[in-house]
């Protein structure tokens, strides 16, 4: 069993920055990948970024590429999402996720929310105009 807890969300003006953190606890020995999804009110959950836990390979949605950076600290079992140049359309609840059962081998897998095994409760990010 794995537990994920996000933190770092808040209210910022357009153009501002936030850094999200997600700490994993429990049975984290077999972590394959960690990632971030987001969901705005009335919209589907969408992929943001993912990182392979061992190799550090990263994947990003086109909408955030160049603005968001995903990173991890293996020793701390923590994944981060550094967000800069935030836009109002980035407003959403951001969810941390872990893949620990089904291995992914490409963007099409990581971006599919059905391929992720564990989810955090989410942290709200609001970007004002």
State pLDDT tens for residues 82-127: 999 999 999 999 999 999 876 788 899 999 999 999 999 999 999 9
**Three-state DSSP state, 100:** coil
Instruction: Please say whether the beta carbons of 36 and 45 come within 8 A.
Output: no
Number of other residues whose CB lies within 10 A of the CB of residue 28? 19
- Residue 76, Ramachandran bin (φ over 0: left; ψ between -120 and 50: alpha; else beta): alpha
pLDDT (0 to 100) of residue 85: 98
Rg (CA), the chain: 14
Which two three-digit tokens encode residue 50? 């993912």
When mean pLDDT is compared across 8-12, 26-30, 62-66, 84-88, the lowest value belongs to: 26-30
């Amino acid at each position: 069993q794995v537990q994920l807890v996000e933190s770092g969300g808040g209210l910022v003006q357009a153009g501002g920055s936030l850094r999200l953190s997600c700490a994993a606890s429990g049975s984290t020995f077999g972590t394959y990948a960690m990632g971030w999804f987001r969901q705005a009110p009335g919209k589907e959950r969408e992929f943001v970024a993912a990182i392979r836990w061992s190799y550090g390979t990263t994947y990003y949605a086109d909408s955030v590429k160049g603005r968001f950076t995903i990173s991890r600290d293996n020793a701390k079992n923590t994944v981060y999402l550094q967000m800069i140049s935030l836009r109002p359309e980035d407003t959403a609840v951001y969810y941390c996720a872990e893949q620990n059962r089904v291995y992914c081998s490409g963007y099409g897998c990581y971006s599919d929310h059905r391929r992720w095994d564990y989810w955090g409760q989410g942290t709200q990010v609001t970007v004002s105009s």
